[in-house]
Chain A
Amino acid sequence: MRRVVITGLGVVTATGCTIADFFAQLLEGRAGTRRIQNLEPALAEQLNCKIAAEVLCFDPSQHFDAKELDQLDRFSQFAVVAAKQALEDAGRGEFSEEEQNRLGVCVGTAYGGIETLDSSYFSLYRKNASRLSPLVLPRLMYNAAACQVSMRFRARGPTLAPSTACSSGAHAIGEAMRFIQHGQADWMLAGGSDAPITYGVIRAWEAMRVLAPENGDAARACRPFSADRRGIVIGEGAAVLLLEEYEVARKRGARIYAELAGYGANSDASHITQPSVEGPARAMQLALDAAGLNPEEVDYINAHGTATRVNDVVETRAIKQVFGARAGKIPVSSTKSMHGHVMGASGAIELVATVEALRRGVLPPTANYSKPDPDCDLDYVPNQAREQKVRAALSNSFAFGGLNAVLVVKQV
């Protein structure tokens, strides 16, 4: 089977809109969760939840002209900009016509163009608008971001948009990996994008009763694995990675960040919101098996770590089930404490954090950790970044619906 390596990274997040800014802020343990600024004040006022991880370092007009902006929902804008960064970072330059046929795109999303949908339905239902713009449909469709990336960079290879809630980004990268492994592409722009900070989405999450209620202390609101954790902070953003076939990358003398060595995907097949221990554990084991690694070789796990009561306990148990006695010796951190829960982009953003940890030999902490929970008793890298050599690392994503996706990266 052909090997797949990561040669380019791009991010648009609440903790930075370049890879350097993003990872520097994670290492500082500084959260990008803040009071919501971009919602219409009259609507924001009606929300109980006043905080989110909004992307404030992103100015659409710097990247797109007026005509392009008409056609791009915010989630597509994020994806295109992250993909552009990844290509520039990879130093690939122009792809020839023939190469363009071997360049594919896989951008996952949980919400698609929800901002477009939310605002158009608002005008239909609330303001009794008599018609909608023809651009509503091309903006809101779930594959819009993937298509916009494909068009922008003339990627004519396999292009798709997995939507598996909070595992979308991880599934997208795992599926993209397969296209290269099986010889259907030599390069894939793979990742996830979501811009779900809308009135309707936040109301729906409020109803689930899993949002962190600390409106007055936004930066400390998300506290994964800490005994005093109260829930999720919703985020927005995107991450796109350039995946490249190993020999192709080696021949052009590419800087290789890591090998994308394994992917495990499965389903709990049990409950629409309550995760199982067995499903996530089996997904981690599948990913390790695919990578040909044994538990002793794993030096870091970037957790799903949502900071809900249930997830963090279940994930801890699943890690113990897979790694046994070694579980307590593997550092596990949740960067969601800082960039928020970016839904369909989370898996991609967190894989970027994992790759950076591996190549630089320094682990991003779990920010806002304050109190040990007897049910969460692993090493969560509390609050302080830690220098450590990483031979191989896991990135976990577990979605509502019980859909699990685990990615493994290792040193080449």
Chain B
Amino acid sequence: MAMQEKIIEAVAKVAKRKTSEVRLDSSFEQLGMDSLDRVCLLFELEQAFNISIPEEAVQDIQTVQDVVSRLGKHMAGQAPAPSGSPS
């Protein structure tokens, strides 16, 4: 999955780990990531996907899996709305 791989790459880059050391159930705490690393991760993800990630989309993220699901939801929500949907 391209998206999941990109996220793992971003986490690995910020945590200064090998991608093989980053698993979906890894928590930021286990990876030694602090609150500054968390904002650095969001920056890397914005760069990687060329999107803007508002804070409310990523509240309470604790694990890599949290990022994958929240980001997936956020990006789906950003997709152009189908025609005829209520405004």
**Residues on A facing B (Cβ under 8 Å):** 65-67, 70-71, 130-131, 133-135, 138
Contacts of B16 in A (CB 8 A): 65-67
Contacts of B50 in A (CB 8 A): 130
Contact of B40 among A65, A130, A134 (CB under 8 A): A134
CB under 8 Å from chain A, chain B span 46-80? 46-47, 50
- Is B40 touching A131 in the complex (CB atoms < 8 A)? no
Determine whether B36 belongs to the interface, using a CB cutoff of 8 Å to chain A: yes
| CB nearest neighbor in A for B37 | A67
Contact of B43 among A65, A66, A131 (CB under 8 A): A131
A131-B43, A134-B39, A138-B36 known, 16 other contacts, Cβ within 8 Å: A65-B16, A66-B16, A67-B16, A70-B40, A71-B36, A130-B50, A131-B46, A131-B47, A133-B40, A133-B43, A134-B36, A134-B40, A134-B42, A134-B43, A135-B36, A135-B40
**Majority secondary structure, B binding face:** helix
Nearest CB on A from B63, distance (A)? 20
Contacts of B40 in A (CB 8 A): 70, 133-135
**Majority secondary structure, A binding face:** loop
| CB nearest neighbor in A for B50 | A130
Q: Number of residues in B with C-beta < 8 Å to the partner?
A: 9
In the complex, the 3 A-B pairs of residues with the closest C-beta atoms, listed nearest first: A134-B39, A67-B16, A66-B16
Centre residue among B43, B46, B50 by max chain A CB count within 10 A: B43
Contacts of A130 in B (CB 8 A): 50
Q: Can you list 13 pairs linking A and B with CB atoms under 8 Å apart?
A: A65-B16, A66-B16, A130-B50, A131-B46, A131-B47, A133-B40, A133-B43, A134-B36, A134-B39, A134-B42, A135-B36, A135-B40, A138-B36
Nearest CB on B from A71, distance (A)? 8
Nearest CB on B from A16, distance (A)? 31
> How long is the Cα–Cα vector from A129 to B36 in the complex, in angstroms?
21
Contacts of A66 in B (CB 8 A): 16
| CB nearest neighbor in B for A133 | B43
| CB nearest neighbor in B for A132 | B43
Nearest CB on A from B23, distance (A)? 20
Nearest CB on B from A109, distance (A)? 22
> How long is the Cα–Cα vector from A65 to B50 in the complex, in angstroms?
29
| CB nearest neighbor in B for A131 | B46
| CB nearest neighbor in A for B40 | A134
> How long is the Cα–Cα vector from A175 to B50 in the complex, in angstroms?
47
> How long is the Cα–Cα vector from A66 to B15 in the complex, in angstroms?
10
Contacts of A131 in B (CB 8 A): 43, 46-47
| CB nearest neighbor in A for B46 | A131
> How long is the Cα–Cα vector from A134 to B55 in the complex, in angstroms?
14
Nearest CB on B from A139, distance (A)? 11
Contacts of B39 in A (CB 8 A): 134
Nearest CB on B from A136, distance (A)? 10
CB under 8 Å from chain A, chain B span 1-23? 16
| CB nearest neighbor in A for B38 | A134
Contacts of A65 in B (CB 8 A): 16
